[in-house]
Amino acid sequence: LEMPLALPHQAAYFPDDITSRTVLPSDITAFQELEQKISNSVWLQIQGSAAPNYFPSLGERLMQKLSNAQRWVRVFIQDENVIGYLSATTTSNQTKGTVFRPVIAQEHVEYLPHMLNEAAVWLRQLGKETIRIGVPDEREQLMQELLNRGWVKTVSWVQLVKWLER
């Protein structure tokens, strides 16, 4: 899904009881538990965990630095409970930023626009024009929520496979 950053956005706002902070290595257990809770186990076995996008290894961080990539990774907390994670990346030669598979429970999806707005603020500060988000096709309710809020679907794995078969 994709949305231009030129659209009017309010400053990142959260209800008073929601905070965000940089992801720490100690967050990986809670991340994995939430990811397993929201993902179909077969799908997760095939696709693999999104953890490398949220907790890059030393080698991956070195490659990011050499390729001039910038990464923004946050955990969002409500009343001392984790409600979700977002990871975004971009490089200096791109006009777009990409948010990797959001890890958020369905009961907290209402907060996803606020979370994405915080990522959008970061991308606008870097001079980017567009934000993209990768949403697994299995997260239909999440996808529909974003489509209802003005996001545009650019491609799905099913569309890509059909295109490659031609």
The residue count for the chain: 166
d(CA 89, CA 13): 21
DSSP category for residue 58: H
CA angle 38, 43, 44 (to 5 degrees): 65
Judging by beta carbons within 10 Å of its beta carbon (0-12, 13-18, 19+), is residue 87 exposed, middle or buried?
Answer: buried
User: Which 3 state secondary structure label does DSSP give 120?
Assistant: helix
Return the DSSP state at 136: -
Give me 75's structure tokens.
């955990």
pLDDT in tens for each of the 166 residues of the chain? 888 886 555 545 556 778 999 999 999 999 999 999 999 889 889 889 999 999 998 898 888 888 889 999 999 999 889 999 999 999 988 999 999 999 999 899 989 988 998 999 999 999 999 999 998 888 888 888 888 888 888 876 555 566 667 6
Task: Please check whether residue 28 is in contact with residue 37, taking contact to mean a CB–CB distance below 8 angstroms.
Answer: no
Answer whether 103's CB lies under 8 Å from 116's CB: no
How far is 19 from 82, CA to CA, in rounded Å?
10
141: number of Cβ within 10 Å: 9
Q: What is the token pair recorded at 109?
A: 């999806």
Q: What is the model's pLDDT at position 95?
A: 93
